[in-house]
Amino acid sequence: MAVLAESGSNPDVDLLYDINGLAKDAPHWFDLAMEFVGEYGLLLAMVLLVLWCWWSVRRRGGEDAAPSVAALVWAPLAAGIAVLVNVPIRGFVERPRPFVDHQGLDVLVSGKTDFSFVSDHATITMALGVGLFVANRRFGLVGIGLALLEGFCRVYMGVHYPTDVVGGFALGTAVALLLSPLAMALLTPVMRAVERSPRAGWVVRRRSVPGVLVPGARRAVESEERDLAA
C-alpha cells in the first residue's frame, strides 16, 4: 500500500507529468500566482463564498432562512470532519508525494514531507462546495467549480497525483452528503432557536426595518387580517 503509482507508464503518473509540465512552460510570475492560489487563495475564496451565501440568505429571510443557515454551518463542519477522516486514510496508504518517486517535476511548493493520498486541499474545498450546494444551488455550483480548480492546482504544483485529488473530492463529497441529513436534523432546530432570539436573531435573519415587513411577517399580518374580517 505504500506506493500507488510507481512507473511512468501508469496513467496517473502520465497525467501528473502532463499537467505539471504546464508549469515549466509558464512564466515565473504565473507559477508564483498558481502557488498562492493553490495553497491559500482558493481556500480563502471558499470561505468568502460561504460568507457571501450567508449574507444573501439572511437578507432574503423567509421560512427557509433557518434551514439554509444550518446548511451553511454544516459546510465547514463537514470539511473539518472530512479532514479528520483523512488522517487514518493517509496513515494507512502511506503514499509519498509524487516528487519523492518521480524525477523532473516542477515542484512549486517546498517543505511537503507528509503523505500524499488523499489531498487535504481537495477534500476541504469539495466538502465546502457540496455543503454550499445543500444550502444554495447557485452558490454551491460556484463552490464546486472552485474545488475542481483547486484540484487542478495541486497537480500543477507537483505536490499531488491526480488520484490524490479525485480521492479528496470523493471523501469531501461523501462526508458532506452522507452526514447531511443527521447534521440538518440537529442544526436546524438550533438555528430556529437562534432566529427567535432577540439578541442573536440577526445571524439567521436580517432585522426588519420599522415600517417594513419581511415576507414571513407580511404573510402573518395578512392571515391575521383575514381572521379578524371573518
pLDDT tens sequence across 9-31:
688 888 999 998 888 888 989 98
Count of residues in the chain: 230
In terms of C-beta distances under 8 Å and separation of at least 24 residues, what long-range contacts does 98-103 make, across chains too? 98/5, 98/13, 98/16, 98/158, 98/159, 98/160, 98/161, 99/158, 99/159, 101/3, 101/5, 101/6, 102/8, 102/13, 102/16, 102/17
- Cβ proximity of 42 and 125 under 8 Å: yes
pLDDT of residue 100: 86
Q: Around Cβ 152, how many Cβ atoms within 10 Å?
A: 16
- 4 within 8 A of 117, measured Cβ to Cβ: yes
Q: Measure Cα distances from 106 to 7, 157, 209 in Å.
A: 18, 7, 56
- The span from the CA of 19 to the CA of 38, in Å, is 14
Whether 214 has a pLDDT exceeding 80, the answer reads: no
Distances in Å between the alpha carbon of 57 and those of 48, 60, 207?
14, 5, 13
Give the residue among 198, 206, 200, 60 at the shortest CA–CA distance from 136: 60
**Amino acid type, 140:** G
Contact (CB, 8 A) for 149 and 42: yes
Rg (CA), the chain: 22
Q: What is the pTM of this model?
A: 0.81
Each residue of 99-123: pLDDT tens digit?
A: 888 888 888 888 788 889 999 999 9
Higher-pLDDT residue of 84 and 9 is 84
The pLDDT value recorded for residue 145 is 96
Work out the percent of the chain whose per-residue pLDDT is above 70: 86
pLDDT at position 9 is 67
pLDDT of residue 1 exceeding 90: no
147-173: pLDDT as tens digits: 999 999 999 999 999 999 999 999 999
CA neighbor of 178 nearest in space, from 119, 130, 230: 130
Q: Is 77 helix (H, G, I), strand (E, B) or coil?
A: helix
